[in-house]
Structure 1
Amino acid sequence: MSSSSTGKGAGAGVIVKPVVNAVRILRYLAQKGSPERASDIARHLSINPSTCFNILRTLVAEDVVDFNALSKTYSAGLGLARLVEQLVTQGQRVQMAQPLMHELAARHSVTVTLWRRMGEDRIVLVSSESSPTDLRIDMPAGQRLPILMGASGRLFASRMGLSEEALRRAFEEMRWARPLSFETYLREVNRARRRGWAIDDGYFAAGVVAIAAPVCDPSANMAYTISAVSIRGQRDEAEIDALGDALRDLGHRLESVLY
């Protein structure tokens, strides 16, 4: 299997040619809208005919491409439509969560963000609602963070079942905006486990306090976190506790929206 490296930009990585060709074939069949022979697909996309045929066979086996044995043609399969439908449905559910996020953002004068777990080591920002006040913190969707960083990271650390030694190793690889000892981090992880929300008081981003609560799927796995971000030093302890409780309640409400 051949591969090449782009070597450009922060998102650069290894490009696997057969995967690229598979995506090109799926895109072509979806846009074409009519069955095509393997030879025609290969010629149109400038793919080696044997390579194209093998990719098509694999896509048929994965139920994202249909094969008509009589006409020897291929077309976009039902499995591809179902996959797209699932993605659209997920996006629609995130949109349904936005009014609830906006209401909390306005009530507490914070920026409310929704983070989704991506694999074992990352979370990604999928939605953000800012306070309608003049002072606001804007956060772009698509931003990715290490799973154990920030307020959300303390929540994941409390639920991932890591040993203290494993958690310490992961902690030592993270960089913080201001000094944070592992002992303090561990206390905050344990506290998050007890009260159902977590706080990062300017350790991840200087001058910013973040509070996060879990959003669990039907199997009680934490798939999302809902977070409130504001300028550090604006709230006393009682106000922070009230915001944490409000986020925890919103997290529970979002479970019925996102699933």
Structure 2
Amino acid sequence: MNLKTSVTKAPRANGASAATAASGAAVMVKPVSNAIRILRHLTQTGAPERATDVARHLSINPSTCFNILRTLVAEEVVDFNALSKTYSAGLGLTRLVEQLVTQGQRLQLATPLMHDLAARFGVTVTLWRRIGMDRMVLVSSESSPTDLHIGMPAGQRLPILMGASGRLFAGSLGLSDKQLRDEFDQLRWARPLTFETYMREVTRAKRRGWASDDGYFATGVLAIAAPVRDPSTGISFTVSTVMIRGDRDEAAVEALGNAVRDLAQQLETVIF
């Protein structure tokens, strides 16, 4: 059984949503784009270059290119040789890449913990990463070894407020009730769900440390999720379990919710 459901309505004709506007997902900021192009160029060439040469190769205004390079030097991702007046990829950029690779390796350490919970409760366990203010992406999934399980493909993206994980993110984005309602109105649920009910579930999730979605995201599916917090106590990931709706009683759901919350706390020590 594969679970990959379209959950957003067509985009509104006028204006961007509050979360999209906050994340800049629909906006191309040219100086940022040029900075990334410069970094990519310096790492690909592997040889120091003068600012004028970088500007010529990338067709960037020389003055703009010079100012971006100075900023990148100040941020320690580009090195400047005062004698030759040349720029090259800096040690700070290498450290950023190393940190990204290290986190990828740490995510692999989460797999056996997720597998254990999947086997113990007969559920599918998924790990979601927050992307900006408006999306989350599925980065890992472990299925139960039973004959019947719910498969979810890695790379699937969902609106930040969707499902059980969405009820966790909703309480941490710092959006006003109006902004949350505007975002909520853009979601397409499998069965009717009012904003008032959704917000009561957001509040309940804060209180007990885990959230649930009882067939609203996908028909016939119960999901339970808990937050995986980074060192700043922000929610960077969520760990979620999905199972057939109505397959277990309230006490069993409560026990699973507590187990998911405990797993999330374990993952915090592994991932960060």
Name the TM tier (shorter chain): 0.7 to 0.9
Distance of 2:199 and 2:30 partners within structure 1? 44
Match of 2:158 among 145, 164, 168: 145
Match of 1:85 among 98, 103, 110: 98
What residue number does 2:228 align with? 215
What residue number does 2:134 align with? 121
Distance of 2:71 and 2:224 partners within structure 1? 45
TM-score w.r.t. length of structure 1: 0.82
Change (3 A) 1:22 1:185: closer
The structure with more strand, counted as a fraction of residues? 1
What residue number does 1:254 align with? 267
What residue number does 2:7 align with? none
Q: Indicate the larger mover: 36-45 or 216-225.
A: 36-45
TM-score w.r.t. length of structure 2: 0.78
Distance of 2:174 and 2:46 partners within structure 1? 48
Tell me the CA shift for residue 238 of structure 1: 2.6
Distance of 1:15 and 1:219 partners within structure 2? 28
5+ unaligned residues in a row in structure 1: which ranges? 1-11
Percent identity between the two aligned chains: 75
**Alignment check: 8 A CA contact 2:133 2:173 kept:** no
Distance of 1:142 and 1:153 partners within structure 2? 17
Distance of 1:219 and 1:22 partners within structure 2? 27
What residue number does 2:213 align with? 200
Task: State the number of aligned residues.
Answer: 248
Q: Indicate the larger mover: 46-55 or 219-228.
A: 46-55
Tell me the CA shift for residue 258 of structure 1: 1.7
Change (3 A) 1:198 1:59: same
Code of the aligned partner of 1:253 = Q
5+ unaligned residues in a row in structure 2: which ranges? 1-24
Q: Does 1:104 align with 2:117?
A: yes
Match of 2:246 among 233, 238, 252: 233
RMSD: 2.7
Tell me the CA shift for residue 93 of structure 1: 1.8
Distance of 2:210 and 2:225 partners within structure 1? 6
Tell me the CA shift for residue 227 of structure 1: 0.3
Question: What is the DSSP-based 3-state SS (H/G/I as helix, E as strand, rest coil) of the residue aligned with 1:127?
Answer: strand
Tell me the CA shift for residue 46 of structure 1: 5.3
Tell which has more relative contact order, 1 or 2 (C-alpha 8 A, sep 6+): 2
What residue number does 1:177 align with? 190
Match of 2:202 among 189, 212, 215: 189
